[in-house]
Chains A and B, each alone.
Chain A
Amino acid sequence: MKTTTLLEVSKVNIHYGTNCVLEDIDFIAPAHTITAIIGPSGCGKSTLLRSFNRTNELITKTRRTGDILLEGREINDYDPLDLRARVGMIFQKPAVLPTTIYENVAVGPRLYGTRKKSELDEIVEESLTGASLWKELKDRLHKRAEQLSGGQKQRLAIARTLALKPEIILFDEATASLDPISTQKIEDLMHRLKETTTIIIATHNMKQAARASDNTLFLMAEEGEPSRVVEFGPTELIFTNPKVEKTELYITGRFG
């Protein structure tokens, strides 16, 4: 079946210390879809994404209640390190490790003990191909990754994530610092990656959410309250015929 639910989020609250930033979050991400999380700055998009691979708990005193199920199983029951291999993440700032292009992709498999050069070679080629970088970079694999452009670095980050064959990839404003052409490349890439993975993006770019996603989750807070789900549904509906007035105001840029 193509429409199995891969990630199910229900009644999730997230606190930083005593400060509740997200309350009663519900949504599902079916397998092989792209979900866009939109909402004003500070509404907790990054926080929510980071809770899916449990990297939020590395940052501060943070507490999450409610259920987040990956393939029906609470993510807290997974080993956090295994979970992170299955749920990859791309960040806003195009960052690379200070080493070669090859090693930037091979780092993930190396963490899990892959040593053999032939195996690594194969994974690197596959992952770079998956990130539409192979043709561009195959002759420079052993050059430093720092020399790449921002867009290339971001695709390299995708390749790095792909090397672990993740089921979900989280994009946290991954195109926010890129030019339109690089952004377009990443969006095309997301579209292609749907075949093998499920994607959740956080974005400020309404056009991107409208263009690239299948479902949209709109989060927003009332003054002094934690953010809640304002509306969740198929992107087409949210952008053409929102049920809630706030949604329409936000996506047309009239507030937020």
Chain B
Amino acid sequence: MKRSRRVSPTQAVLFMMTLISVVGLALIFFFVIREGYPIFSKVGLGKFLLGREWLPTRGLFGALPLILTSLMLVVGSVLVATPLGVGLAIYMVEYSPRPVRRFLKTIVELLAGIPSVIFGFFGITVFIPLTRHYFGSSGFGLIPAIVVLAIMILPTITAVSGDAIRAVPRENRLIVQALGGTRWQTVRRGVLPSAFRGIITGTILAEGRAIGETMAVLMVLGNAPMMPKALNQPAAAMPSQIALDMAYATGDHRVALFALGAVLLVFAAVLIFAARRVGRQRR
């Protein structure tokens, strides 16, 4: 039998799609870095990354406050959302009766689909007054931003860890159950150890979402590009600062925004590679 050497239409389409995504990705990296690069050579990479003052109109391009704020937002929201999201996933898979599970699943899916600007409104009407009331400041700042981000990334964490928990072989549960383990002990010793990597993958994916989130953060963070000193004080993060300044930036300022974008891109890429590494080690 001779097999046709011609490329099948499916192969051709798949190849084109692959090519488009690879080229697209390369172009994104290329342009962001090309547009931003001049500022690195002008002020120096070290000064850009570690400078503490972001005053573009006065020619000061220290991105450290923005980078630190972004990192604090990621760490804070993941610390808040992981226990909640994993807890919710455990409850949904292991404890909840079917109608409750369906209901929660719908809620989580809806939560994942809400546009981020709506989360921003929610933060402004609910968490900013609460922060103002309890922490005595303007209300804008890291606290409401972390809370809003935590809610936004919760669905990712819940969905991915829920899948990981469901994928645990029944035998693992049976082992603990047959030894007389309680329900929680069964989860704790029979289920969670096998699901652990999946849960970590979920949180890393969620970090990727948190670091890039622009709109909701912009609406509640207060956007003061200063070193973040306290959680109840306004701050500014990389993506929201870019979005804000882009409207009017020219010259070096514009270049600096692209450079900031490049830094953001690197952070996001690192997170994605970390997620893949952890995911690949899964048994």
Instruction: Point out the residues of chain A lying under 8 angstroms from B175, CB to CB.
Output: 91, 95-97, 107, 157, 160
For the A-B complex, the count of residue pairs with Cβ-Cβ distances under 8 Å equals 65
Shortest C-beta distance, B232 to chain A (Å), equals 42
Q: Report the nearest B residue to A92, measured CB to CB.
A: B171
Q: What's the Cα separation between A88 and B178 when bound, in Å?
A: 7
Q: Please, which residue of chain B has its CB at the minimum distance from the CB of A50?
A: B178
Which of B18-26, B71-79, B141-149, B182-190 touches A? B182-190
A58, B178: Cα distance in complex, Å: 10
Binary contact track A140-154/B, C-beta < 8 Å → 1, others 0: 000000100000000
Determine if A83 is an interface residue (Cβ-Cβ < 8 Å). yes
Residue pair B177, A111 in contact (C-beta under 8 Å): no
Task: Determine if A55 and B174 form an interchain contact, defined as CB atoms under 8 angstroms apart.
Answer: yes
A-contacting residues of B (Cβ < 8 Å)? Answer: 169, 171-172, 174-182, 185, 189-190, 193-194, 283
Q: Which B residues are CB-close (under 8 A) to A96?
A: 175
Q: Does A114 contact B (CB under 8 A)?
A: no
Residue A161 CB within 8 A of the other chain: yes
Q: For B174, list chain A residues within 8 Å (CB).
A: 55, 91, 95
Q: Does residue A253 face the partner (Cβ distance < 8 Å to B)?
A: no
With most chain A CB atoms within 10 A of its CB, the pick from B175, B181, B189, B283 is B175
Give the residues in chain B near A80, CB-CB below 8 Å: 180
Which residues 81-112 in A have Cβ within 8 Å of B in the complex? 81-85, 88-89, 91, 93, 95-99, 107-108, 110-112
Complex interface: chain A residues within 8 A of B181 (CB):
81, 111
Number of interface residues of A (CB under 8 A): 28
Q: Are A89 and B178 in contact (CB under 8 A)?
A: yes
Instruction: Point out the residue from A58, A85, A99, A146 that lies within 8 Å of B179, measured CB to CB.
Output: A85
| Listed A/B pairs (12) with beta-carbon separation below 8 Å | A53-B178, A55-B178, A81-B181, A82-B180, A91-B174, A97-B175, A97-B189, A98-B172, A98-B193, A110-B189, A160-B175, A164-B179
Contact B179 A160 (CB under 8 A): yes
Going nearest first, the 6 A-B pairs with the smallest beta carbon separation are A95-B171, A84-B180, A81-B180, A85-B180, A89-B178, A108-B179
A164 touches B180 (CB 8 A): yes
Residues of B within 8 Å of A91, CB to CB, are 171, 174-175, 178
> Could you give, for residues 27-38 of chain A, a 1 whenever the CB lies within 8 Å of some chain B CB and a 0 otherwise?
000000000000
Chain B: minimal CB distance from A50 (Å): 9
Q: What separation, in Å, do the CA atoms of A54 and B160 have in the docked complex?
A: 33
Q: Which residue of A lies closest to B174 (CB)?
A: A91
A111-B189, A146-B283 known; A97-B180 Cβ under 8 A: no
B180-A83 in contact (CB<8A): yes
- Residues in A with CB closer than 8 Å to B180 are 80-85, 108, 111-112, 164
Residues of B within 8 A of A107 (CB): 175-176, 179, 189
Contacts of B185 in A (CB 8 A): 111
Contact A84 B178 (CB under 8 A): yes
